[in-house]
Amino acid sequence: MARLKTRVLYKMDLPGLSKAAMKRLVNILDAWSQIVIGTIQTKHLSGPRPSKIKSDGLLKHTMTREMTKMGDLIKIKVGPRQLPYARIHELGGVIRPKNKKSLRFRIGNRVIFTKKVIMPRRPYLQPGFEAEKNTLEKLISTRLTPGLGGGNK
């Protein structure tokens, strides 16, 4: 099964920004990615719904972010650190046995054998990103735009 290490949240291509403006933008994006992780952890990996995901809390507690800048392109990635079940929960899919004829697992006292398990989508990354899109726009307009237009910040 492929692993979902991170998910690209935002890409910005901003040709012509001054070095000072680019530095402010990187700081804004870094702060925003922390806000997104907080939203994912508190709203999408907490409460009754995550009991369907995993009771050990690894998805919640291994969220990380990475920002790369190549010229005028800035890319932000957010996600859990190399958990094999992270991708299947975000995107859904089918789990099949790799080395045996069937999968074996327990539900309560019952032992279940099956050829496949169809996992529904239980997204947690994308909803966190969507919930904070407006926050990014506000951060950029209040912390970056005034500096570009001669405002007060």
pLDDT, one tens digit per residue, over 32-89 is 989 999 998 888 887 655 455 555 678 888 888 888 877 777 888 888 877 888 888 8
Number of domain units in the chain: 1
92 domain-assigned: no
Each residue's pLDDT tens digit, 101-128: 999 998 889 999 999 999 888 888 888 8
The strands making up 63-70's β-sheet, listed across from edge to edge, are 7-13, 73-80, 63-70
Residue 48's pLDDT is: 57
54 burial level (CB within 10 Å; 0-12, 13-18, 19+): middle
For residue 34, the enclosing domain spans 7-83+123-148
The pLDDT of 122-139, averaged and rounded, is 87
Residue 143, in any domain of the structure:
yes
- Domain-embedded: residue 25: yes
> Residue 2 above 70 pLDDT?
no
Q: Does 88 fall in a domain?
A: no
- Distance set, CA 127 to CA 51, 67, 130 (Å): 18, 20, 5
Q: In which element (H, E) is residue 42 found?
A: none
| 46 inside domain | yes
Pick from 117, 12, 107: nearest CA to 69: 12
CATH at residue 40 = 3.30.300
